[in-house]
Amino acid sequence: MNAFHRLTASDLNALRHEEPKLVIMDVRLSDDYEQRAIEGAVNNCVYEVAFQSRLTDLVPDLQTPVCLYGESQDSHEATMAAQKLLRAGYARVLTLQGCLAAWTTAGLPLQGNGNQPEIQPLPAGRLPIDVTESKVEWLGRNLLNKHWGHLPIRSGHLDIRHGELAGGEIILGMTDITCDDLAGNPYHDVLIAHLRSDDFFDTEIHPEARLKILQAKLAPKAAPGTQNLHITAELTLKGITAPIQFTAAAGLAENGRYAAQAAFSIDRTRWGVLYGSGQFFHRLAGHLVNDLIEIQVRIVTQST
């Protein structure tokens, strides 16, 4: 696979007048392209799965010179697009050094409507959770096997203050716990009955569990999509309340909804769930169950 070549802004400006077949391709989001782009550039967003099929339509001849650019040198979309073109067999692949930022700084010709993309503010106040979109998944193991399923969310809310998550509460229906890997298997009902019993969650006496968010701190300089929140919370399970801490990725989703996802493990014995624990019993043999339960949480608030 051949390497691609980088051009300075002045080199590209000269080349676009010297090489009539040159295609300058903006590989950013279409909204960004419409707001501001290099004069004469075409748009083909590299984040979209249709990038390759559109590429064939835009540049059918593999010998055509193509210069790619993204937002800035720190953003990798142009490099990713260049690698895709080389893999597809394009012979003359170029990228703009410094991307659109360098072109703009050089004062070279631009096109676009000049409208800045609208940034939605975070909703504020107490936001009810959408229990159909939100979910809590569990996974438990022993030495050889594992089981997983869902804990339905009965109700809940998140508190947003000054554009940040400040608290919240999630109520889980322990009586309706499912084991998805055994769906349709006769053993499913046996395991669910065992989980509901006093060996595990004793749902006849404790039909609900409660996760209460006490504090959420933003991680400094966290990139979008990373674990940008440090959560301090309390989990009430089987009538026992104990503190937990975990990280989450959170932000604004479509329709003004706040969304957060987290994955963490709890030591069930802290909440009195002792069955099969090697910490409390000897000679368990095939009845040994790992103490840690993995929890995955997705919370989405209702549309504003």
The answer on pLDDT for 118 being more than 50 is yes
Strand, helix or coil for residue 4: coil
Task: State residue 246's pLDDT score.
Answer: 97
Q: Which domain holds residue 184?
A: 125-300
Burial of 294 (0-12, 13-18, 19+ CB in 10 A): middle
The answer on pLDDT for 261 being more than 90 is yes
Query: Which of 65, 80, 111 is where one domain is finished?
Result: 111
Number of structural domains, the chain?
2
> Which of the two residues, 115 and 268, has the higher pLDDT score?
268
Mean residue pLDDT of the chain comes to 94
Gyration radius of the chain over CA positions: 27
- The helix-helix angle for 77-88 and 51-58 (nearest 10°) equals 70
Q: What is the rounded average pLDDT of the residues 78-92? A: 96
The answer to whether residues 71 and 35 belong to one domain is: yes
> Which of the two residues, 39 and 114, has the higher pLDDT score?
39
The answer to whether residues 64 and 186 belong to one domain is: no
The answer to whether residues 103 and 137 belong to one domain is: no
Residue 120: inside a domain, yes or no? no
Consecutive H or E run containing 292: strand 292-300
> Token pair of 39, please?
């004069």
Task: State residue 225's pLDDT score.
Answer: 79
Please report, for the domain that includes residue 29, its CATH number: 3.40.250.10
The answer to whether residues 23 and 151 belong to one domain is: no
**pLDDT tens sequence across 188-214:** 999 999 999 999 999 999 999 999 999
Among 3-7, 257-261, 267-271, 281-285, which range has the highest average pLDDT? 267-271
The answer to whether residues 49 and 139 belong to one domain is: no
Residue 273: inside a domain, yes or no? yes
Residue 117: inside a domain, yes or no? no
Q: What is the rounded average pLDDT of the residues 116-135? A: 84
The answer to whether residues 51 and 188 belong to one domain is: no
The answer to whether residues 106 and 236 belong to one domain is: no
The answer to whether residues 202 and 76 belong to one domain is: no
Residue 234: inside a domain, yes or no? yes
Q: Provide the pLDDT confidence category of residue 164 given band limits of 50, 70 and 90.
A: confident
The answer on pLDDT for 116 being more than 80 is no
Strand, helix or coil for residue 206: coil
Residue 158: inside a domain, yes or no? yes
The answer on pLDDT for 63 being more than 90 is yes
The answer to whether residues 9 and 105 belong to one domain is: yes
Please report, for the domain that includes residue 150, its CATH number: 2.40.128.110
The answer to whether residues 96 and 135 belong to one domain is: no
Query: Which of 85, 111, 137 is where one domain is finished?
Result: 111
Query: Which of 76, 111, 146 is where one domain is finished?
Result: 111
